[in-house]
């Protein structure tokens, strides 16, 4: 049985204990922008709150508030309405295009099609989104290093391969951890039905996302260009091509 993940997809990155859950929009859940496995951010929040509570110094209070604001900014998850255009492939992430390959042969997913690499700085939204409407065929985790996500050797970093089937086409979104991003998180398990622009997962701090496309796809972005997940069109499927 497939699991539908559409606009109402629960984007919770930290579920509160059952005793503390609240009804929100008809759903028995409360949502905060952190993953259950995010022990470091949680520890920082607790330490900052404790320091501010115990200290009488105004400087400590200010530092704690600033730290909380920075974490809230980094973990922001804005609502977005995905662009609906026939054959259009949307960016899976916010960030800067650092590489476009005309033909790639990854170990997983489609081969001999274009590959678009996106670098996410600490100032970008780190929620990853579906480039098309379809079904998640597989989510494959691969352990690895934590090199700078802008370097070529970052392809050996810890990563998730999210294999998508969009109608008769197949493409892959690869979440790659960076030097400081020590965890890649996928929220769409195998069999999930995803809408165009739906939330797939999250990567912490500076990181990289690669999009592997079917052969014959037309790429419409170039290195250096900034894109937004679920909003920017990065390519068109081969049977559609660019609109006239």
Show the domains of the chain with their CATH numbers: 9-76 (no CATH), 88-236 (2.70.70.10)
Q: Which of 91, 207, 217, 232 is catalytic?
A: 207
Each residue's pLDDT tens digit, 95-130: 999 999 998 877 777 678 999 999 998 889 989 999
Write down the pLDDT at residue 45: 60
Each residue's pLDDT tens digit, 64-93: 778 777 777 777 788 999 888 999 999 999
Each residue's pLDDT tens digit, 11-44: 333 333 332 233 333 333 333 344 444 455 556 6
Average pLDDT over residues 44-62: 65
Task: Name the band, by pLDDT with cuts 50, 70 and 90, for residue 227.
Answer: very high
Each residue's pLDDT tens digit, 162-218: 999 998 899 999 999 877 656 788 989 999 999 999 999 988 766 899 999 999 999
Write down the pLDDT at residue 56: 57
Write down the pLDDT at residue 203: 85
With a pLDDT cut of 70, the percent of the chain lying above it is: 67
Of 10 and 184, the one with more pLDDT: 184
Write down the pLDDT at residue 117: 95
Is 207 designated active site?
Answer: yes
Write down the pLDDT at residue 177: 85
Contact 128, 229 (CB under 8 A): yes
CB count in 10 Å sphere of residue 81: 9
Q: Is the pLDDT of residue 155 over 80?
A: no
Q: Is the pLDDT of residue 47 over 50?
A: yes
Closest CA to 159 of 145, 180, 179, 138: 145
């Amino acid at each position: 049985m497939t699991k539908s993940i559409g606009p109402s997809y629960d984007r919770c990155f930290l579920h509160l204990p059952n005793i503390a859950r609240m009804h929100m929009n008809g759903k028995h859940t409360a949502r905060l922008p952190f993953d259950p496995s995010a022990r470091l951010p949680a520890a920082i929040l607790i330490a900052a709150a404790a320091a501010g509570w115990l200290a009488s110094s105004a400087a400590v209070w200010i530092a704690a508030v600033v730290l909380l604001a920075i974490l809230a900014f980094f973990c922001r998850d804005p609502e977005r309405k995905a662009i609906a255009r026939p054959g259009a492939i949307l960016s899976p992430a916010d960030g800067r295009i650092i590489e476009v390959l005309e033909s790639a042969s990854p170990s997983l997913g489609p081969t001999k099609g274009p590959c678009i690499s996106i670098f996410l700085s600490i100032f970008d939204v780190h929620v990853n989104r579906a480039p098309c409407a379809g079904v998640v065929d597989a989510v494959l985790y691969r352990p690895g290093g934590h090199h700078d996500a802008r370097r070529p050797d970052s392809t050996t970093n810890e990563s998730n391969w999210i294999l998508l089937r969009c109608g008769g086409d197949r493409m892959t979104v690869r979440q790659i951890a960076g030097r400081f991003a020590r965890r890649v998180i996928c929220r769409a398990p195998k069999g999930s039905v995803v809408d165009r622009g739906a939330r797939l997962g999250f990567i912490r701090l500076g990181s990289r996302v690669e999009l592997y496309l079917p052969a014959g796809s037309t790429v419409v972005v170039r290195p250096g260009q900034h894109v937004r997940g679920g909003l920017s069109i990065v390519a068109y499927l081969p049977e559609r091509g660019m609109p006239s």
